[in-house]
Amino acid sequence: MSRYGMIVAGQYGEELPAFADPGVAEVALSAQRDTGLQELRKIEALAAELDYSAESLKTVERWFFENGQPASTTAGYSMSHAIGFYFGEVLCRVCGFGWVVQEFPLLKYRYEIGVQRGCLTVMLTKGRIPRAAGNKRMTSLWRECQNYAASH
């Protein structure tokens, strides 16, 4: 990794949550994930559509853009985290991934949560926001999910 890459990776790691041990990290980050999923389900316009299918990602993304790309839920929970954790749960249910909590390899005591299948890991600690650029159909999350499904 280049020197600049190491600096960027170090800055990324510094922003991750710190925990004394892996067990505490797993409990805390799993609770954050569960809260994010619950917060998304509290959105009345989405609740009936959230069936954890790949197609439901289109509904989430369309809602996100049609509602002005909100930064948080009505309760103040980060929308990027809620969407990211929902995306991860869809990958688990549709594409055979499983949830993991791992220590960041370049910085001790900093942890991430994400999903993993074999050697492929998608970290979601910082959430996931659908891309606006080049996304006329509002299906970037669905397309990303399809790419992961195809690489099975």
Strand partners, 111: 103
Fold of 3-150: Four Helix Bundle (Hemerythrin (Met), subunit A) (1.20.120)
Give the DSSP letter string of 30-94: HHHHHHHHHHHHT-HHHHTT-SS-HHHHHHHHHHHHHTT--SB-TTS-BHHHHHHHHHHHHHHHH
Q: Rounded to whole angstroms, what are the CA distances from 40 to 27, 43, 52, 120, 147? A: 20, 6, 12, 26, 24
Q: Rounded to whole angstroms, what are the CA distances from 135 to 3, 52, 130, 131? A: 33, 21, 9, 7
How far is 94 from 85, CA to CA, in rounded Å?
14
Provide the residue ranges of all domains of the chain, joining segments of one domain with +: 3-150
Q: What is the pLDDT along the chain (152 residues), one digit of tens a residue?
A: 788 888 888 898 899 999 999 999 999 999 999 999 999 999 999 999 999 999 999 999 999 999 999 999 999 999 999 999 999 999 999 999 999 999 999 999 999 999 999 999 999 999 999 988 888 888 999 999 999 988 76
Q: Rounded to whole angstroms, what are the CA distances from 122 to 2, 35, 41, 71? A: 22, 19, 22, 22
